[in-house]
Structure 1
Amino acid sequence: MSRPAAAAAAAWSLLFLLAFVATTGLPSRPPTGKEAWNYVEVRDGAHMFWWLYYADSQDLPLVMWLQGGPGGSGSGFGNFAEIGPLDGDLKPRKTSWVQAASVLFVDNPVGTGFSYTDRPDGYATDVATVASDMLVLLQHFFTERAEFQSVPFYIFSESYGGKMAAAISLELTKAIAQGMVKCNFAGVALGDSWISPLDSVMTWGPYLYTTSLLDDYGLKDVSSAAEAVKQAVEQQQFQKATELWSVVETVVEQNTNGVNFYNILTQEPDERRASVAEEDFISLQTRRHIRPLHGQSLSELMNGPIRKKLGIIPKNVTWGGQAEDVFSNMAGDFMRPVVDMVDQLLTAGVNVTVYNGQLDLIVDTMGQELWVKRLKWEGLPGFNGLRWTPLDDPTSPGVTGAFCKTYKNFAFYWILRAGHMIPSDQGPMALQMLRMITQQV
């Protein structure tokens, strides 16, 4: 973005927020100061959108947020439903991460959110391409915004975003060493992340059984369906494994009367459950895991006032319009684990944090702990030898909000009373965790 364009964007941002004061009663001072956004063409015809909120203080770190799916939008869901300065009603969020960091939302992979591709072959089909695309974007970003080159830079993620974050962090570490990217990479945080898909699927049955959400018959059904996924993964048939993963979810729904995969204390809405008629797994999984990140009110916000505010979205691009294509193109890579990438990051000395919600099913904590215990990192015995430390809920002193354990460059946070979307479920605790990871407390 040129200097005049950047100035115009900042001015429009201010006018946009002030305009809402008259209609919604927002305070006269915007909850965040400076903003910027732009596109980067990461490959021929493949355009990635980013949106940056500057922290009030230059002493605070820079955090890049990566959403899940794949196909979930950071500029939309992560921004307005989880950690941005405004919520979905455009009211200030008390637990916004912009209080503790400058926050960079990137719609990735290409085709997610406001990102788009001009060509049918422009979508990413694996995390290697996702990482390569992001490296191009980060090269542009840190070159054009040199003020962030020395600022501690963290990658935070959620769900499938964690799988992408691991791959991106590894490539970024190499690029920095080679002088290709100039930035102060300080660490990666993997939230409820799809690092080892099979470990998640194989523990769904035991987790639901121990929480009284499956009976003996249900446990047998879910475990049997999960075993088929395991066989496909062991045979390296990853497309088949993704299809069978969808079958396991249907079996879980049928035996739990529709438990919500994102929070076991709630039920899945009827419209997201498997229909009686056969439905191809891409459509089914889009309905289960992509559409919830593109609710009607959020879509109307993003394709209405936000689109108008940004002023650079091509006329033929709809926010979320290519999300299903993003997921379908990644289906063959979906069930591949990236545990080895986490091992490489730890061995390279990169600060790695895993954090997980107690009530999450799709990436349950039991599954996360299994792959962590198989790490080959030399510090693992020391980590395993520690007892965890309780952390008070920031809003309720004396009430435990989380547990954590840290050894050398690895940390694990167990977030209580939270499901898959931790910042939405436990905003104060998530903000506290951010400050701890970025060494602000």
Structure 2
Amino acid sequence: MSAGPLVLLVLMGATQGLPLGEPKESWGYVAVRDKAYMFWWLYQAESPTQSYTELPLVMWLQGGPGASGCGYGNFEEIGPYDTFLRRRNTTWIQAVNLLFVDNPVGTGFSYTTDSGAFAKDVATVAADMMVLLKQFFGSKPEFQETPFYIFSESYGGKMAAAIGLALYKEIKAGSIKCQLGGVALGDSWISPVDSVLSWGPYLYSISLLDEEGLQEVQGSANEVQEALKSGQYVKATDLWSQTEDIIEQNTDGVNFYNILTKDSTFAGKTENRKQRSLELGNVLLGKLYQRHLLPLQRNDLSALMNGPIRKKLKIIPDFVTWGGQASDVFANMAADFMKPVIDIVDELLEANVNVTVYNGQLDLIVDTVGQENWVKKLKWQKIEQFKALKWTAVRMGQKSLETAAFYKSYENFSFYWVLKAGHMVPSDQGETALRMLRMITEQESP
């Protein structure tokens, strides 16, 4: 379904007019399984010199699992408008066509009418996305020859790796006509235990833990590792949550998503935690949901999505509330949460698919040290050549003296260290993220 012009939107009681020259967009639902429907939203690229068909297509995947790319990624990070419907100066549609998908099923405006239809692992998530992409590229043949990149954030990176590999196989089999340009894993939950084991030393090195606190955090992290070694994945998730509790207690409530701020949209309120625990029927899942997913559905964004945006889209079923099934998505994926997918990244690299890892300097939940540690575990035959390289500084202009990031790249593998950014890199450093996007999609050199 194509969008017509929207002249006025009503947001939080105030009338707000959208500017002229709206981006061209379309959206729709795809039935990926019986009683399971996924929502997508596409923005065409806006370039003063090139047609949108000459520019890459990027699919953005949010984390959670259960966080909405059509909501958070779109309005809080990289879409053409922010949550107040003001034009974003660093929107990615300046450089690429942008496809948001609410996945897994039940996320955002996606929904299921059967409680047994929620995904329980990344294999199901990937299979569902293949159904959606087959229909998408079939209905929009103008994108079949366009370089297609999968960008992601947080748990979205774990899903992106699995989806990228599944897509590579479908393309090779001739089932989907698409030009896979690469997969970009942003602050991604690829190897949870490597993050957890690095939390203590990282916080200690920046004076956010004392020695006693370090020992306490490390002891708890070691228990997570032992649970994983014995295949007790649900127990590992429980212990992971306990490790987060210990960190909060010892650091006076550090923000897991940006260590320099205590303004934590992500810091929990007891009443919210109790309410969500009752809904999930599980105190642990309630705590995790509140800490890591509820902030991505905060009140102003929820009001926008369930009010003006819903009216604009016109196809959202009456019984569907944006984010209404997010807790079910999160709960159903609990047993898969702590499982690593390093092997999938290895398969992508061996298949010669371009893989980029990028990470915010100030992130804790997926800290850069942990990312570097799982990268060292790759069995890719060229990993030693990559590790031997020195990184290169990225600046925002030829005359700029400030370093925005570092990167290094060897053949089809790249790593970007993004400075002054937390977990949500495009939100914290929009200009740097846009520059990085152009570099990864081969539109700009360092």
Identify the residue that residue 219 of structure 1 maps to in structure 2.
214
Matches within 5 A, 1:86-105: 86-105=81-100
Unpaired segments ≥5 residues, structure 2:
278-282
Cα deviation 1:362-395 (Å, max 9, x = unaligned): 0000000001011111111111111000011359
| Structure 1 vs Structure 2 CA RMSD | 1.9
CA distance in 1, matches of 2:91, 2:18: 16
- On the 8 A contact 1:358/1:365 being kept in 2, the answer is yes
Q: Matched residue of 1:420: which SS?
A: coil
Which AA in structure 1 matches 2:395? D
**2: CA distance, partners of 1:162 / 1:121:** 25
429, 434, 440: which one aligns with 2:432: 429
Aligned residue in 2 for 1:338: 341
Q: Which amino acid aligns with 1:62?
A: L
State the distance in 2 between where 1:101 and 1:272 align.
34
Tell me, in whole angstroms, the C-alpha distance in 1 between the residues paired with 2:167 and 2:263.
38
> Could you tell me how far 1:27 is from its partner in structure 2?
3.2
Q: 1:15 aligns with which of 6, 15, 37?
A: 6
Shift of 1:397: 1.4
Decide which moves more: 273-282 or 364-373: 273-282
In the alignment, which residue of structure 2 is the partner of 1:246? 241
Please list, as runs of the form range in 1=range in 2, the aligned pairs for 1:186-335 lying within 5 A after superposition: 186-267=181-262, 269=264, 272-273=267-268, 275=270, 280-335=283-338
- Matched residues in 2 for 1:119 and 1:29: separation? 41
Cα distance, 1:274 vs. partner?
7.6
Q: Which residue of 2 aligns with 1:28?
A: 20
Native 8 Å contact 1:394 1:429 kept in 2: no
Compute the TM-score of the two structures, normalised by the length of structure 1: 0.94
Residue 27 (structure 2) aligns with: 37
Return the letter of the residue paired with 1:141: F
Contact preservation (8 Å) 1:394, 1:428: no
1:15 CA drift (Å): 2.5
Q: Tell me: CA distance 1:28–1:253, structure 2 relative to 1, closer, same or farther (3 Å).
A: same
State the partner residue of 2:280. Answer: none
| SS of alignment partner, residue 65 of structure 1 | strand
Cα distance in 1, alignment partners of residues 216 and 7 from structure 2 = 53
TM-score by length of 2: 0.93
Alpha-carbon distance in structure 2 between the residues aligned to 1:16 and 1:117: 32
Contact in 2 for aligned 1:186/1:350 (Cα 8 Å): yes
Say yes or no: does 1:388 pair with 2:379: no
The AA in structure 1 aligned to 2:6 is L
Give 1:17 shift.
Answer: 6.2
Q: Secondary structure at the match of 1:225?
A: helix
Runs of 4+ in 1 over 3 A off after TM superposition: 16-20, 22-27, 268-279, 393-396
The one-letter amino acid of 1:422's match is V
Aligned residue type for 2:187: D
1:202 & 1:257 partners in 2: Cα distance? 20
Q: 1:157 aligns with which of 152, 159, 168?
A: 152
Number of equivalences? 429
User: How many angstroms apart in 1 are the aligned matches of 2:398 and 2:301?
Assistant: 28
1:306-354: per-residue Cα shift (whole Å, max 9, x none)? 0000000000000000001101000000000000000000000000000
The 2-side partners of 1:206 and 1:15 are apart by 51
Structure 1 residues 271 and 290: alpha-carbon distance in aligned structure 2, compared to 1, 3 A threshold: closer
For residues 271 and 371 of structure 1, what CA distance do their matches in structure 2 show? 26
1:217 Cα shift?
1.1
- The DSSP-based 3-state class of the residue aligned with 2:261 is strand
